[in-house]
Homo-oligomer: A and B are copies of this chain.
Amino acid sequence: MEWPLTLAAVLFLAAYAIQIIARPGGLLNVLCEIVLIATWAVFVVDYVVRLAITQRRWRWFYRHLLDLAIVVLPMLRPLRLMRFLTVLALIGRSTGNMLRGRVVLYTVGATVLTVFIAALSVFDAERGVGDIDTFPDAVWWAFVTITTVGYGDYYPVTAAGRIVAVGLMIGGIALIGVVTATLASWIVERVADQTSKTVSATEAQVEGLRSEIVELKQMIRELRPTS
């Protein structure tokens, strides 16, 4: 069920972006509406079926509150795409430094996706009300916000836009955290590599002890027939 849902999320995001940015009329608008409703139906069916086939329903319900939010709030639906990024990361499993590589790939993907969705949502909420009047401006604003730079040349003024902005700021804090933590893990490991010779020396010592004892046993074995 993973791939159909990811596909539904991609389609939803595409239709949502077309509706907001291009404001199509006539047939294209109807098509977009159909895609939005159809993909939403996919998420609802997936949620209901999984809830139905599980045994401890309340426990499942509490642990899948995010899934419920994805069904209820259209904005969160593309979050499903972040799972898709994990799948992509699995392909690169053969290369070393896997965990960090995966974290980096996931971070880049999640940041791009977050910036895109936040720009869409804010553009939708602010157009005609605040200063954010074109989609490129919304993307620029999203980058200025997620990096916590905050020039103040554009800022949301509607409640919806501000809620999206707060989410984006929290994403920015998380972004700084992930970048720093990955670098810290790398530096700590590199420094530890230089001190690891001591540890392997100890292992060699234990191995030396074992061979000494093997010799001992041989010596005692030679004692036995004589006595």
Residues in chain A within 8 A of chain B (CB atoms): 99-100, 103, 136, 140, 143-145, 147-153, 155, 159, 162, 165-166, 169-170, 172-191, 194, 198-199, 201-203, 205-210, 212-217, 219-224, 226-227
Contacts and interface: CB of A to CB of B under 8 A. Distances in A.
A216 B202 CA distance: 21
Determine chain A's interface SS by DSSP, over half rule: helix
Contacts of A176: 173, 176-177, 179-180
Contacts of A215: 217
B162 A147 contact: no
A166 B151 contact: no
Contacts of A206: 202, 205-206, 209
A197 to B, nearest CB: 12
Given A181-B187, A187-B182, A227-B227, A155 B153 contact: yes
Contacts of A209: 206, 209-210, 213
22 contacts: A99-B191, A140-B162, A143-B169, A145-B149, A147-B172, A149-B172, A173-B175, A176-B179, A180-B181, A184-B185, A202-B203, A209-B209, A209-B210, A209-B213, A212-B213, A212-B214, A215-B217, A217-B219, A219-B220, A223-B223, A224-B226, A226-B227
Contact of A148 (B147, B166, B213): B147
Contact of A173 (B103, B147, B217): B147
Contacts of A147: 148, 166, 169-170, 172-173
9 smallest beta-carbon distances between A and B, as pairs? A149-B150, A181-B184, A147-B169, A181-B183, A152-B152, A151-B152, A177-B180, A177-B179, A151-B155
